[in-house]
Amino acid sequence: MWRSVSRVFPVICIPLMGVAQENPEVTPAVVYQSVAVLESEVDLIRLEMGKPVVEPPIIQVKNAAPREVYFASVSLFRKANRLGLEITGEQVEEPPVLQGELKPGDVLTVVERSLTRLAAVKKALKIPEKSKRPPLEENIDPSRVFNAIMSANRALNQLLDKRFAPGDVFLEVSVAIAYAARLLDEPGGVLSTPPPPPAFVRQKRPADVYRGLVASFESIRAIGELSGVAMLSFEVDEEQLENAEPNDVYEMATLMVAELAYLHSLRKDAKPPRKAYHPGRKLPAEVFQRIGILGSQMEMLRSRVDKNPHWLKNE
């Protein structure tokens, strides 16, 4: 089957760039322990709000690296922050999305910030129970941390009045397109132009959009392999995919951004990506069309890498 504290309106912008923090004493096991606490906190809030238990995530990943776990944790923070806004009327500044070789400590920082937002929600809802920190487990790898964060992401999204919608996915795909455009820039600063969108096709569902993103992800994985860069792999529950929600598609788009941002960090002369802004309400079909642009970019990049697999080292 498996195949930011101020009272402001929520606005999601292109992630800010930063430098990875050094925190070598933090291990994936330590991060996993904090994620377990967060999952327990989410469940306490779920029970108080009278919400049902959600289904498991559509994907299970393998070979995850801390960079991919970090991007998943930022997505987690965005949901915790939005829930905080809805319940307390306050939101805090989003953590910068770091580039380069990230560490478990970078992930832990974002998870702990998410826990702080949930603590504010619990206080507002007058929830007295406190989650206990479980014993530290051994042999926890980044993939297990990633999958736990994805599960918490899905559970958190269900608690939102304003759940993650096609407009949020459209924004994240636009961020991916901005990174891909920089990867397609010619050496010497010659800027590339995104290809035109494909024809608009009506009546697309989140599952269709999800599959379009999976196809683009397969392309970026192949590009990574040709370039000597390891990328994660994943299995998709095809049966569950038929009932995919925009939040599931959003998480897949976040994975695309993670991989493209990493390749961007490896290209020495790459210019910063163009800013992307929330487009407002969008239909799944409009997101699907947007993914067509990303797919064309992946084909162009694959063609270049086929001719020059050492493109990242030659510059």
pLDDT in tens, 167-223: 999 999 999 999 999 999 987 767 888 899 999 999 999 999 999 999 999 999 999
- Closest to 276 in 3D by CA, of 189, 169, 185: 169
Helical H segments across 89-132, by residue range: 104-124
| pLDDT at residue 262 is higher than 90 | yes
Q: Burial of 6 by CB count in 10 Å (0-12 exposed, 13-18 middle, 19+ buried)?
A: exposed
**Alpha carbon distance 111, 114 (integer Å):** 5
Q: Burial of 1 by CB count in 10 Å (0-12 exposed, 13-18 middle, 19+ buried)?
A: exposed
* pTM of the predicted structure, to 2 decimals: 0.89
pLDDT in tens, 65-116: 999 999 999 999 999 999 999 999 999 999 887 877 899 999 999 999 999 9
Report which of residues 3 and 286 the model is more confident about: 286
| Token couple for 8 | 């402001």
| pLDDT at residue 136 is higher than 70 | yes
Percentage of the chain beyond pLDDT 90 is 82
pLDDT in tens, 279-311: 999 999 999 999 999 999 999 999 999 999 999
**Alpha carbon distance 126, 106 (integer Å):** 31
Domain limits, the chain: 1-162, 164-315
Residues 6 or more apart in contact with residue 294 via CB below 8 angstroms: 173, 176, 177, 180, 216, 256
Contact between 278 and 193 (Cβ < 8 Å)? no
pLDDT at residue 283, rounded to an integer = 98
Radius of gyration over every alpha carbon of the chain, rounded to an integer in angstroms: 19
At 225, which helix (H) or strand (E)? helix 206-226
**Alpha carbon distance 146, 69 (integer Å):** 5
pLDDT in tens, 140-171: 999 999 999 999 999 999 999 999 999 999 99
**Whose structure tokens read 């239909």?**
283
* CB half-sphere exposure, 278, CA atoms < 13 A: 12
